[in-house]
């Protein structure tokens, strides 16, 4: 229910339009470089309760935006869900997503 672990990774700790609060930076860790970070380590900052998701409240919501742009017809097809989960894993892997995010989302 805590939707964790959830971290932000940054070279410069800022939210738009302000910098991180001191309390957000008190437990900062350095992260080994991601493949796209050109060898630079990033700051790994816990998101805490700041970015809690409502996923547990609403479950998975999948719509076909090409034909249902108003998102009125929920797709409840297990094959389609499995296909989209597989695609999500592929996209996260290609983006060098941290392994903890796979854990957080219940993906293998």
- Per DSSP, 39 falls in state T
Domain ranges of the chain: 1-53, 60-108
Tens of pLDDT along the chain (108 residues) come to: 566 678 888 888 888 888 888 988 898 999 999 988 899 999 998 876 555 554 456 677 899 999 999 999 999 999 999 999 999 999 999 999 988 888 888 886
What was the pLDDT predicted at 54? 47
What was the pLDDT predicted at 56? 55
DSSP codes of every residue in 49-72 = GGG--SHHHH------TTT-TT--
| In the block, residue with structure tokens 């919501």 | 61
Beta-bridge partner residues of 104: none
Asked whether the beta carbons of 9 and 34 are under 8 A apart, the reply is yes
């Amino acid at each position: 229910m805590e939707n964790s672990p959830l971290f932000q990774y940054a070279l410069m700790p800022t939210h738009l339009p302000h910098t991180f609060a001191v309390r957000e930076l008190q437990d900062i860790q350095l992260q080994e470089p991601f493949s796209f970070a050109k060898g630079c380590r990033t700051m790994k900052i816990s998101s805490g309760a700041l970015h809690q998701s409502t996923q547990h409240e609403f479950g998975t919501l999948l719509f076909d935006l090409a034909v249902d742009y108003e998102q009125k017809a929920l797709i409840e097809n297990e094959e389609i869900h499995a296909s989209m989960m597989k695609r999500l894993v592929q996209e996260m892997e290609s983006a060098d997503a941290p392994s903890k995010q796979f854990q957080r989302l219940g993906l293998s």
